[in-house]
Structure 1
Amino acid sequence: MINMSTAAANRQYFDAITDTYDSKPFFVKVNQVVTDDLRNRLDWIGIPFANTGSSSHAQSVRQLDYACGTGLMSRVFGPYVTETRGIDVSPNMVASYNARARAAGLSAFTINAVVGDLFDTQNPSPTGAEWDGFDLVTASFAFHHFEDVVHAAKSLKDRLRPGGVLMINDFLEGGDLKADEKGEPIEGTEGTWAAHHHHGHEHGKKEHGVHHHQAAQVDEPGWDRAKMAASVVVPSFTVEAVRKFFTEAGLVDVDVVMMDKRVYVEIAGQKLWRTILFARGRRPAEARSEL
């Protein structure tokens, strides 16, 4: 097997699945549930949004959608921000993201994505004033693809304005239920069942509050299991682990909450009901000079 960086593995995997990424019926449902839930949590996210109808709404709100894919987080918050910038390592995902935005009649000034990698320690990209000072940075179902979650969270925190918020969603460790052949949840099967292998990790190895598991040996049509496995570092996170890496990254006002209901997914031949967590952390406000 050829060794490659996590970024390269992610690029290869997501380039390959761009055309079918959101078309699966269960993804459509998951995306809608996430959208509805987050739009009901605007106050919890903790920044002034635009177009909310409240007296305290903001005139200008800038969002960075990192690992943007085809733009779920951009669509979630689109009505409440005035400018959105996306970054993804996958050129195909970026092309799809921008094509959707243009098809919706939105200008590149309002919303646009580029190919980049903020986590590259030698040459993070993109750079420039346009890519700093965001009110909100989001990353949806992305942190389980990142090799160093502390470095990832810190890199994203650094793109926030002081007082800005990083908000992510991902899957909760131990929050899975197995599903039967009809997709119905099997009660009493709670656990961590999203399975994969990655970079030679031993089966069940636990690091940073997350488990590594062996891949299911069934390919789902339209998905390349080997590429998917290579792109995933961890399948899920504990609440404590997320709090820890957010705090180590220098974020404050950290909170982690779970969606009330599980969501149904089919991945690598597995049928599961999974629990989604949302995490929020704030870049500290700059200290005021006493002079």
Structure 2
Amino acid sequence: MTDFTEANRKYFDKMATEYKDRFADSIKTLSEQTLKHRLWLSDQWLDTESGKDKDIKMLEYACGPGLISMTLAPYVSQVIGFDVSDNMIDEFNRNAKSIDISHKMIGYKADLLNTSVPDEFAEPNFTDFNMVTVSMALHHFEYPQEALQTLTKRLNQNGVFMIIDILSRSGSDHGHGEGNHEFGEAAHTVKTHGFSREDMQKLFAGAGLTKDFKYEVIPELLIFHKDEKKHNITVFIARAQRP
């Protein structure tokens, strides 16, 4: 684990128990938008014709308390979360238990981007995913391109990689950029101040995700509170497939 990753681990360990309350409005928006874009992301779900009678597996990396996993769990056979933060993984598994889906949603503490990943996470249960998701975390990754390349290896053929993250100021034509990159106490854990459509297309292509690229700016702002003030950011959702 690099010093930068360790800084993220410490910050999110500290944030874990208050995350749900502190970002309640944003969590609601992200969940709603993920559901709205579900068929835009993929046509293979347990309730679709192309996903019928299939084993559909999803990996959420830098999963935090499991927002995306909980949102999409009803439509997949299994969802696995990974995070470098012990406390976030505790929240992830606690949340799965609270809504009675711990039989199909489980989180593990591990840095999959580290070359010394434990052998157990190279077993078949942790590969051949239909979907890999990274939500509101890519801007915290020290090396985004290398991260996508590493995680893409865990996708099966035609598997979908989904990213939700912050829109860069240069990528915004919506006038919502003000305050986008005022990360406050989390500033030391942020590596990239947002991504444009061109950024994401390049990152996906560099990871071999060259099939059916899509990118959409989410019209609803994410709202959060910091220093007793309300702030907002503009985010996007993007996807591409492994050919």
Both proteins in one fold, TM over 0.5: yes
Match of 2:110 among 92, 112, 116: 116
Match of 2:187 among 199, 205, 229: 229
Q: Give 1:176 shift.
A: 11
CA contact (8 A) 1:47 1:164 kept: no
- What's the TM-score once normalised by structure 2's chain length? 0.89
Match of 1:12 among 10, 20, 38: 10
Per-residue Cα deviation, 1:26-45 (whole angstroms, up to 9, x for no partner): x2222222222221222211
Single out whichever of 95-104 and 167-176 deviates more from structure 2. 167-176
Which residues of 2 match residues 206-245 of structure 1 at below 5 A?
Answer: 225=185, 228-245=186-203
Please provide the CA RMSD for this pair. Answer: 2.3
Match of 1:168 among 163, 170, 192: 163
1:190/1:45 Cα in 2 relative to 1: closer, same or farther (>3 Å)? closer
User: Which has the larger helix fraction?
Assistant: 2
Q: Give 1:190 shift.
A: 4.5
> What amino acid is aligned across from residue 180 of structure 2 in structure 1?
A
Map of 1:206 onto structure 2: none
CA contact (8 A) 2:138 2:165 kept: yes
> What amino acid is aligned across from residue 235 of structure 2 in structure 1?
I
Gap runs ≥5 in structure 2: none
Number of residue equivalences? 237
1:175/1:98 Cα in 2 relative to 1: closer, same or farther (>3 Å)? farther
Match of 2:216 among 257, 271, 284: 257
> What amino acid is aligned across from residue 36 of structure 2 in structure 1?
N
Q: Give 1:268 shift.
A: 6.2
1:162/1:264 Cα in 2 relative to 1: closer, same or farther (>3 Å)? same
Gap runs ≥5 in structure 1: 178-187, 197-214, 217-224, 285-291
Map of 1:289 onto structure 2: none
Match of 2:36 among 33, 40, 53: 40
Per-residue Cα deviation, 1:90-128 (whole angstroms, up to 9, x for no partner): 0011011111212222234x11111111111x3134321
CA contact (8 A) 2:70 2:96 kept: no
* Matched position secondary structure for 1:114: strand
CA contact (8 A) 1:167 1:279 kept: yes
Single out whichever of 72-81 and 96-105 deviates more from structure 2. 96-105
* Matched position secondary structure for 2:49: coil
Per-residue Cα deviation, 1:162-188 (whole angstroms, up to 9, x for no partner): 1100101001112899xxxxxxxxxx9
Runs of 4+ in structure 1 displaced over 3 angstroms? 54-57, 188-192, 267-271
> What amino acid is aligned across from residue 101 of structure 2 in structure 1?
L
CA contact (8 A) 2:163 2:237 kept: yes
Map of 1:98 onto structure 2: 93
The 1-side partners of 2:17 and 2:220 are apart by: 28
The 2-side partners of 1:152 and 1:71 are apart by: 19
Per-residue Cα deviation, 1:220-249 (whole angstroms, up to 9, x for no partner): xxxxx2xx2221112311121111111111
- What's the TM-score once normalised by structure 1's chain length? 0.75
